[in-house]
Amino acid sequence: MRQLTTIVSLMVFAVAWAANSRQACDLDMGWRFHPGDVAGAAAPGFDDSSWRTVNVPHDFQIEQPWVEPSPDERPDNSDVAANIKSRLSSRGFKEMGIGWYRKALDVPAGWQGRRVVLQFDGIMYTADVYLNGRRIGGTDYGYVGFEIDVTRDLLYGRQNVIAVRADTREPGNSRWYTGGGLFRDVRLLVTDAQLFFTRHPLYVTTRDNRYVSLSAEFTNRTRMKQTQVVFTIADPDGRVVCRQTATRKRNPQTRTVAAVLPEVELPTPQLWDIDTPRRYTVTAQLLRDDGSVADEVSERFGVRTIEFGPQFGFKLNGRKVLLQGYANHHTLGVLGAAAFPRAIEKRLALMKQFGINHVRTSHNPYSRSFIEMCDSMGLLVVDELYDKWTQQHTGGRVPFLNHFAADIEELVCRDRNSPSVVLWSLGNELQQDPNQPFNDFGVTAYRMMRPVVARYDSTRLVTVAMHPRYRNWETDSLPCDLALQTDIQAYNYRYMYFPGDGRRFPWMTFYQSEASISAMGENFFAMDLDRVIGLAYWGVIDYLGESQGWPAKGWAQGVFDLSLQPKPKAYYMRSFFRPDEPLVHIAVIDKKGDQMWNGVQTGNDGMSDHWNRVRGQKLQLVTYTNADEVELLLNGRSLGRKQNDRASAKMRNQIRWDNVRYKKGTLVAIARNGGREVARHTLQTTGPVSRLVATPDLAEGQWKADGQDLMHIHVQAVDGKGRQVPTGGKLTFSVSGPATIQGVVNGDITSNEMTVGTERSLYMGSADVILRSEQDRPGQVVLTVSDESGRSATVTMTTNGTSA
């Protein structure tokens, strides 16, 4: 039946071609998958009937069991002697390996004479692609997309078999959890064979927030002496505001050329900004001699200006904007590396809610859907290509210098029309690895790479994130040589050197490309916020990999846990990222944090925000606030008033309360400005668990039956008054209808429970289950969750047709 579905979709696609010059066929659904290496799996006649059927995006690493370090391994991600170095702590304690994918499809005979291209948005980590048993291509660096022209390789009117071998082995090739397999979209593209647009053909630039220049690259294999491209621009409301034609004469020296429309003035421009992310749409039509359309592409873009300078940092549309950001890896918690648009949207919406306006895509290209989501939501992106510039850190199969130019072209051409992207970053912390090309910690390699970026985009500056910023770890007070080459001086953690380096080199413009959450607040307020670009807090969201010690499966120092629940310190960040919104939040310190990482203090105090404690226990509390003062009351009795020490970069917006003796009841923090209450936060001792509550995150009618859309259901154990009880206990999930369980999660990153399956324990009284819709099967989905005491909750949802 699945094969029949594939055949039908391609036949419909073939019929539709006559009505449109270009068609894209989604190949995400119905792949056969097998973990491990399999001899002969590329052969078209190979029997894969026993293999599991999966849908893309898919991460086969997330399904692997946890691997506890052996006694002779160090159970963390420290850089120690090779004989005791942890093998898998950096990779989330998941075994590395190989995964095979196969897909059979009948290619219509009517496609013969057309151009057919197989496109992968990424395959993790390296991969080989086969068609009908013959290797036709692959990737040596799985974070960037690629395409393979299969026009001459397909069997038209017959069945064809695509096979993909993905490989994540060699743990040293990455310092974090990468995921594995077909983690991004796959498609077939059909165009005219003689006259067609190239990959990422459009380049849109704007000037003075009014003028737009357009170019479109195409290949002409005909004998036409000149070619016309019709450009149409529609405003954010869909109204056509420009339609003009560019003519390009045939160049006998090359078949690939660009048609350019030098400058168009927009009437009443609607600007792209972080609060009003309006976007225009440009459509380009490539015409044949008879005026018919040979090919057509479109892309959305924004009208905005960006400026960088040492006196003001960064300006968007002429006004100072401070980058208030975060830097995480590309993975999406328990979903692993699988790039689900809905999961991306959910976390970006949460980040904006807490005042974040910026993302650094450390340390590799994120999915195109992530960048487009930033475009639509108004987030500013520092778009990063690599970690270190070595073969080891860029796939491991071929030398770095053999593929950097192609990688730059792919990333820059893919994202250059996105208004959210304001800066390119080419690497990270090269100073920690002496094995950089040319043995000069990246200077020569940067000088080679910077012109390649400019070849494809002249509108943005380029940087590299540096740590440490010294030429020499121990003795040199000057910035490293690379800092004297980059357009922007991006220092990880070392914001304290901005003033001195700025005095020595007045042309420098500073960006704290990673900031420690342990030093959160101080590393923000101690900067000259009027002059710096801003910062990106490292690891704001807990993630798999880079564990600082088993049983933690990854980074646990974030202010949001693995299930995206905010920890108390998230409200501290919000207090200064959203200073105009009065806030107060109580945090109870459960344990002190003292961990070091890359020479930086990263350990956070372990905190919680509930009031179910041990009778008589003396507690250390913090109230996070952006108000003038806070009064703390326990069961109606004042424990005092304390002022917000705004003169101290270290203590601003956080007020300490020592030796508060616990009493059952109600703890209230009241924040005041000028003596007037502006915010309050209340903690109450709860009763025992009375029931379970399951809450979907999407409203009725929003869950699409497209095979990729997700519904996150948050489950809470509550008492008789509906208050969440900080408790544990195993939950069991069952689902009926056109959806499957994609992941199960709670906030406990030390748990040995799997993130896939039908069971998960509560952590601090909550857990989440993530459902994935089935493609083209709209209908009712019923989720039932039950605990070990016989309590249960049922929630009914509906998936809707993709046009809904």
Residue 548, token pair as written in the block = 């600082």
Q: Which residues contact 83 (CB under 8 A, 6 or more apart)?
A: 72
In the block, residue with structure tokens 């105090």: 605
DSSP 3-state of 445: helix
CA 244 to CA 30: how far, in whole Å? 42
In the block, residue with structure tokens 């900031």: 515
Q: Which residues contact 19 (CB under 8 A, 6 or more apart)?
A: none
CA 776 to CA 6: how far, in whole Å? 13
**Cα 446 to Cα 142, 243, 472, 481, distances in angstroms:** 22, 40, 19, 11
**pTM attached to this predicted model:** 0.95
CB 339 within 8 A of CB 292: no
Centroid of chain to Cα 509: 26
Which DSSP state fits 277?
Answer: B
C-alpha neighbours within 13 Å on the C-beta side of residue 795: 21
CA 43 to CA 659: how far, in whole Å? 70
Q: Which residues are bridge partners to 324 per DSSP?
A: 535
Residue 59, token pair as written in the block = 């991460």
Q: Which residues contact 463 (CB under 8 A, 6 or more apart)?
A: 382, 423, 424, 425, 426, 486, 487, 488, 489, 490, 511, 513
pLDDT given for residue 802 in this prediction: 67
CA 128 to CA 186: how far, in whole Å? 14
Phi and psi for 251 in degrees, rounded to 5? -105, 110
Pairing mode of beta strands 293-301, 280-287? antiparallel
pLDDT given for residue 601 in this prediction: 56
Phi and psi for 707 in degrees, rounded to 5? 85, -5
pLDDT given for residue 89 in this prediction: 87
pLDDT given for residue 6 in this prediction: 42
CB 602 within 8 A of CB 517: yes
Per-residue model confidence as pLDDT tens digits over 366-423: 999 999 999 999 999 999 999 999 998 999 999 999 999 999 999 999 999 999 999 9
In the block, residue with structure tokens 């020499």: 472
Supply the angle between the helices 404-415 and 443-456 in degrees, to the nearest 10: 40
Which DSSP state fits 455?
Answer: H
pLDDT given for residue 2 in this prediction: 35
CB 255 within 8 A of CB 220: yes
CB 32 within 8 A of CB 162: no
In DSSP notation, 540-576 reads: SB-EEBS-SSTT--EE--SSB-TT-PBPHHHHHHHHH
Report the sign of the C-alpha dihedral through residues 185, 186, 187, 193, in that order. Answer: positive
Phi and psi for 631 in degrees, rounded to 5? -110, 135
Q: Which residues contact 647 (CB under 8 A, 6 or more apart)?
A: none
In DSSP notation, 480-516 reads: PGGGGTSSSEEEES-GGGHHHHHHH-TT--EEEEEE-
Residue environment code for 90-126, b if the CB has 16+ CB neighbours within 10 A, otherwise e:
bbbbbbbbbbbbbbbbbbbebbeebbbbbbbbbbbbb
Going by C-alpha positions, the residue among 141, 101, 104 that lies closest to residue 125 is 141
Residues of the chain with pLDDT under 50: 1-9, 12-19, 80-83, 804
CA 427 to CA 440: how far, in whole Å? 14
Residue 255, token pair as written in the block = 């078949």
CA 163 to CA 168: how far, in whole Å? 17
Q: Is the peptide bond before 696 cis (omega within 30 degrees of 0)?
A: no
Per-residue model confidence as pLDDT tens digits over 480-505: 999 999 999 999 999 999 999 999 99
Centroid of chain to Cα 167: 22
